[in-house]
Structure 1
């Protein structure tokens, strides 16, 4: 079994040839001559002791036995490109990059970002909305806003806030169904469900709020089910029915009059929302300022002390 890695140039030439399908294209990509590509592939064949290329007339292609080897090499070079991208992002010193749950970015962070500029001057933000938790090393150049136990995979985390939930509907819906403000009637009205998936089974739904008020759960199926809280709130704002909304997601629509809160009674989310980061990220002054700001912003209405981040010597 071959234990010594072949020369990197030979691997690179072979990977480029297999991906692009010709010696000429590989040579152009790597900035060398076609002869150099062919020579490096021959070096690789000699070291591996297997044929990597087969020819059909003047056309060359990967040998069948070399295809799985090439697939693994391509995956490895893709990782190298990804690592280079991480370094390029860091060297570019973009102001603040943030990965976050879609509705958390849309409904909670976005309406507040102008306050950071007012307090700390202009900054450039790059926002990536995704449910997929990034690999921990990606937090060397971005923050992650997430929920609950998902935060535990990241090197450093701090709770932002512990949200609460209550029923909401559109003003037009309430005008058509004035009984919606009565918990006893709420379970018989059209409603919109929010289902984050099996990994979040403990997140409360409308039936849980009704049960907490000693009322029966909804008596009919929801008119629609949404995996995104923001999508569900838009459906409710359009008049489809009632939904259990999180305060952090519904607050702006409540202020704008797009939604109406149906009860002062609320139930808590089982876990907090978190911001996550790595120590390397905080080497940048703007990142430290952003972290201080967002923690203070999240806790400003909760009587919490301001949490300060300072660069360690």
Structure 2
């Protein structure tokens, strides 16, 4: 028997007003009518009225009103997660629609080192050819969400055999490799592979998260040389290791993606012909279908051309698969 305070609708599948559901979702999340009202910028009385109308629509209470707090009833507990998910989906859809219309803004996420050493030095070219596109960068290693974080393109480094999410399109793969890099003055001192055993070593630990990482021991092993316990300065960020090598502090097993600009400008040299290929690469991802949008397509094409420019650094080198 239903309390006379509520009634069962004869149209049980008819959705209630969106404003009432929004009021419930906020109140269920905060377990406070006052906090929910503040979030939605309405008075507590107005929010309470919306929730009451929702309860009448359902024919059952959604909250237990206690002395200074509220708690969800069984019906409220059933509705709360679905309501939250529904509003998250609506928000994501709304943001996606706005991004389609706002073709003049392109938001890219990449790691801090790749942004600083690879993207930033090249952006003048893209900006000069596409003044109509405003680029925004989120330089972070945190995995951002395309929908909730308003991301158009993600550049991520990870294992080569890593699968992409089914809703994403891999627009480009940028290969990585490493080789000893040093200031030109040091190249006069360390002219043989054996002489590097006496060099001041800079350790780039940025790829240690990989199951099959690369190390100085791997590089010397590719030449049939056993290595003693090498000592030197360790950097967790690859760009910091590259900066230290440019200053002449030592020799780094440098990543081509981050050292290529310095090599091209003559601030670093890579005099030895052996390079190691890690079992990892950069994946350039975007939501499926987004790759055809004019702004996204322009940036992806430019990215592909710039990545192709690095291929010249491979000329004359012996490429060895790390761990192979």
Q: Secondary structure at the match of 2:219?
A: helix
Q: Structure 1, residues 54-97: CA drift from partner, whole Å, max 9, x if none?
A: 343xxx42327689779735565445434433333333223322
* 1:275 pairs with 2:275: no
Aligned-CA RMSD value: 3.9
Query: What 5-or-longer segments of structure 1 have no aligned partner?
Result: 304-313
* 1:54 pairs with 2:62: no
Q: Structure 1, residues 196-255: CA drift from partner, whole Å, max 9, x if none?
A: 344x233422221111122223523453241x3223323444555332112221022334
Cα distance in structure 1, aligned partners of 2:171 and 2:149: 14
Cα distance in structure 1, aligned partners of 2:178 and 2:136: 29
* 1:297 pairs with 2:306: yes
1:182 Cα shift?
3.1
Bigger mean CA offset, 86-95 vs 103-112: 86-95
Cα distance in structure 1, aligned partners of 2:131 and 2:50: 53
Structure 2 equivalent of residue 191 of structure 1? 202
Q: Secondary structure at the match of 2:108?
A: strand
Number of aligned pairs? Answer: 293
1:125 Cα shift?
0.8
Cα distance in structure 2, aligned partners of 1:126 and 1:152: 23
Task: Return the TM-score normalized by structure 2.
Answer: 0.71
Structure 1 equivalent of residue 9 of structure 2? none
Structure 1 equivalent of residue 165 of structure 2? 153
Q: Structure 1, residues 180-207: CA drift from partner, whole Å, max 9, x if none?
A: 4432132454331324344x23342222
* Residues 14 and 296 of structure 1, relative CA distance in 2, 3 Å threshold: same
Cα distance in structure 1, aligned partners of 2:243 and 2:80: 44
Given that residues 193 and 206 in structure 1 are in contact (C-alpha distance below 8 angstroms), is that contact kept between their aligned partners in structure 2? Answer: no
Cα distance in structure 1, aligned partners of 2:119 and 2:137: 10
Cα distance in structure 2, aligned partners of 1:104 and 1:15: 40
Cα distance in structure 1, aligned partners of 2:202 and 2:303: 33
Query: What 5-or-longer segments of structure 2 have no aligned partner?
Result: 1-11, 313-324
